Amino acid sequence: MTAPLSPSQELTRRLRDGLDRICVVMRADQWAIAGAVGLNPTQTHVLTFITGRGEKGVRVGAIATQLGVAQPTATDSIASLVRKGFLTKAPDPEDTRAVTVRVTRVGRDIVRGIGLAITATERALETLSIREQTELLRLVIKTIRALQVAGAIAPQRMCVTCGYFRPNAHEDKRAPHHCAYVDAAFGAEGLRIDCDEHEALPEADREAVWISYMKAFSDSEEDARDVTR
């Protein structure tokens, strides 16, 4: 007989089931947006990812790793996008045996149009107050980091893993954090999950920065135990 779940396990299952239902809608949103521009969701993700990397170009292996797909899948998607004129391929200047992929002007215009599309998920999120959205963003960031630490997803270009991020550097509760890249303070609602200017923190510093960031949420004993999680 299977042992009953603990209250904590039951809650975790409910959260997982709820997120799964949200993901169903998000996948439908992705198919609708991708189909409107003649792409599938994987191609859309590839194009958006490469566009966010600017003019430097990205290797195929890095694209596959970042998006969590097999390299043949990434290769097929890239080939299709090249045929459509959205991407170009060229030898990597640092290693002529490798190939880098860059976005074209037409591809950049497609991504801009995709970004302007309003989805059902976004409309649902807009029903949350700014405070609720900010708290949800914090919890999403915490969950993504836990997945990164577990090796379940590739490292994301988040503020909390960036060398320019200075958590809780200011006394102003509305803008406690500081970005050294733009030399400006910002609030919790400004935390990014994917930033073009991201500079990965050295591994030795990641935990200390995370603990410093989480200390602002350690008002209760339970939160304090969660700081390093």
State the average pLDDT over residues 136-159: 93
pLDDT level of residue 2 (50, 70, 90 thresholds): low
pLDDT at 148: 92
Where do the domains of the chain lie, and which CATH numbers do they carry? Answer: 8-116 (1.10.10.10), 128-226 (no CATH)
C-alpha pair distances (Å), 222 with each of 6, 218, 226, 228: 18, 8, 7, 12
Q: Is the pLDDT score of 41 beyond 60?
A: yes
Q: Look at 59-63, 93-97, 161-165, 201-205 and tell me which has the smallest mean pLDDT.
A: 93-97
Edge-first strand listing for the sheet containing 58-59: 58-59, 95-103, 87-92
pLDDT tens-digit profile of 87-128? 999 888 777 778 899 999 999 999 998 888 888 999 999 999
Tokens of residue 71, six digits? 């390299």
Using DSSP bridges, classify how beta strands 177-179 and 165-166 pair: parallel, antiparallel or unpaired.
Answer: antiparallel
Task: Transcribe 25-67 into DSSP letters.
Answer: HHHHHHHHHHHHTT--HHHHHHHHHHHTTTTS-EEHHHHHHHH
Higher pLDDT, 215 or 165: 165
pLDDT tens-digit profile of 165-183? 999 999 999 999 999 999 9
pLDDT at 57: 84
Q: Is the pLDDT score of 54 beyond 90?
A: no
pLDDT at 165: 97
Higher pLDDT, 175 or 226: 175
